Structure 1
């Protein structure tokens, strides 16, 4: 078995991201920050595969601690106020105290909801992220952003609540549906797009290995992605500056997800479309060359990701969602654009006419 890799996240609440196979069975690592009882939150897709392994490992390592669990329905629809209320009720029924730890075992929906529940219970208890999708490993489990969706928009209710640890067991990716693997690769590509053009070179060279689920290639992609996110989060933990760069493609993508009622494109697919639209917007504004947009589009297509918005979406409705997006400001729409590969920046005051032109192109 290969040795786990680690990425340190600094700042006021430092923690370590550990990446490697077999981590869900490593009781010492799972319980490394556990002070009291453990409460594992998972979903009904992941729980049959991995929940027993995690609870058994925790119980073996800390035989004197209670290890309880609760399962929610899989899917974006569960990232809601109603399901959050059910999670809090389950935590209350379990009698968790201030020294307890919530373990988020699942993809981005579980990580966001469990993290927010941990942030809210008794004004904040510990949370350990156990991401089981590639997208969650490279993005949502890292950085401490937790959130719920509303009908009016995605991730509008939430809190910053850094985890005590992130354990990314790469072995679970072997059971990941190919659609979810491809969706996760969209967020991997994002890091090359915003800060590291050389990473795009690497992704182009290793695309076949990544799609085939090669352990070494995936571990490298995850570690490099996490290192980029860790560096950005450490500089800007509450998204007052550079952290907004991580939302490249997300203003367009979130609008698509919301307009489809969270039942069409999954998050990584919507982000792939959104990144191409953000690149095209950058072109229109004279900031970046068309050749870089073409390169981004080609790489995303190679990973089997959509690069055009689904047909039939209403531009006025999409713009309405963008106006309510967390990145919007009172002075107008704010987008993450780029000056070319690896050089993203925040651009406020983008004219809606320019956005409409991009949306009209699909």
Structure 2
């Protein structure tokens, strides 16, 4: 199964299949001089030997760069560990980096590829559901800053995205739920019938039913590829992919990176954004309840931590969609349609004090 991404920064395939990890050598160009396999200690223990053997079939020397696991390590220090390893190994501009892991590995490895020698090629081999349907596709690479998530990075497209659906079998249930938050997002913003399908198959998806998972990954990648192809650099349409993320990133920053998984924060953030959509652009309240129910059904929280109203607003102002200190939110005029608009803080404050949305209120 293949989905194509076409952008000014590069056109590439997304391959989706069981056992795709064993085919990684096919994504290494003939003129590559070496391969750097960038992974973390958790994924390395599970799939590092297998991935290294697959890449060695390309006939290129393979260097393994193992990073610590977790969102808290999406930092300058981790980025420099990659640069140090590349320089010690004396890899040149024709080396290819391969990101084997979840969104943190993919983002940091991609950013390293964008910067090393002003740009070397890289391949995404995502091992979490969230990375397979979201972060590995579209060329967004970044590290976090203490003051904001993904605030330092680059747009840099991979050579290919290699999605092996078999690796999802080793994901903890919490990681599966976090990935499903990004799956159901695509139905909310761009495909109401897909949202209906997700409602009907929520339990099959949580159980990682192979047929359901393949369909969910394919459809999610198709929607993201279509959006990214029309707006590679996030200056217009692509912003709709951040539905729920303004609230979600505030949760992650406010609690400390890693306390909630990214998908958990986004799932809760989508409920909050849906509630705001009722007030700001007339979304039917019945749709909000469907969204709340589906977020809960996939296993994500639907009530946010109590960060304090002013703290919430301060955190959300550290967002790439902010213009002139006005926070711009991705909202839903209707299920399957998304728009971006500035919303006055006075309309948001009641939500941030609501017992329906905030724990302990």
TM-score, normalization: structure 1? 0.95
Is the contact made by 2:317 and 2:325 (CA closer than 8 Å) also made in structure 1? no
**1:246-267 C-alpha deviation (Å, 9 max, x unpaired):** 0000000000100011132110
What residue number does 1:71 align with?
A: 66
Q: Give the structure 1 partner of residue 6 of structure 2.
A: 10
- Tell me how far apart the structure 1 counterparts of residues 124 and 314 of structure 2 sit (CA, whole Å): 33
Out of 347, 352, 358, which is 1:354 matched to? 347
Please show how residues 159-308 of structure 1 align to structure 2 within 5 Å: 159-308=154-303
In 2, are the aligned partners of 1:34 and 1:101 still within 8 Å (CA)? no
Q: Distance in 1 between matches of 2:30 and 2:183?
A: 28
Q: Verify: 1:325 aligned to 2:322, yes or no.
A: no
Q: Do the aligned residues in 2 keep the contact of 1:327 with 1:334 (CA within 8 Å)?
A: yes
**Aligned Cα RMSD in Å?**
1.2
Contact 1:196 1:342 in 2 (8 A): yes
State whether residues 148 and 155 of structure 1, in contact with CA within 8 Å, keep that contact through their aligned partners in structure 2: yes
- 2:149 is matched with 154
Structure 1 counterpart of 2:339: 345
Aligned residues: 354
Task: Give the secondary structure class of the aligned counterpart of 2:65.
Answer: strand
Equivalent residue for 2:90? Answer: 95
2:81 aligned with 1:86: yes
Q: CA deviation at 1:17?
A: 0.3
Distance in 1 between residues matched to 2:22 and 2:36, nearest whole Å: 16
Deviation for aligned residue 1:96: 1.3
* Higher alpha-carbon deviation: 202-211 or 269-278: 202-211
Matched, 1:128 2:119: no
Q: Aligned partners of 2:209, 2:311: CA distance in 1, in Å?
A: 41
Query: Could you report, residue by residue, the CA deviation over 1:76-130 in whole angstroms, capped at 9, with x for unpaired residues?
Result: 0110111111111111112111111100000000000000000000111101000
- Offset of 1:140 from its aligned partner? 0.2
Structure 1 residues not aligned, in runs of 5+: none
Contact 2:24 2:162 in 1 (8 A): no
Q: Relative to structure 1, is the Cα distance of residues 34 and 176 closer, same or farther in structure 2, using a 3 angstrom cutoff?
A: farther
Structure-2 separation of matches of 1:340 and 1:292: 8
CA distance in 2 between counterparts of 1:264 and 1:187 reads 18
Q: Residues of 1 paired with 2:12 and 2:31: CA distance?
A: 13
Give TM-score, length-normalised by structure 2.
Answer: 0.96
- Aligned mates of 1:118, 1:69 — CA distance in 2: 15
Query: Which contiguous aligned blocks of 4+ residues in structure 1 show a shift greater than 3 angstroms?
Result: none
Check 1:232–1:175 CA distance in 2 against 1; reply closer, same or farther (3 A cut).
same
Write the distance in 2 (CA, Å) between the matches of 1:170 and 1:17.
Answer: 12
Pairwise CA distance, 1:331? 5.3
Map of 2:17 onto structure 1? 20
Change beyond 3 A, Cα 1:33–1:163: farther
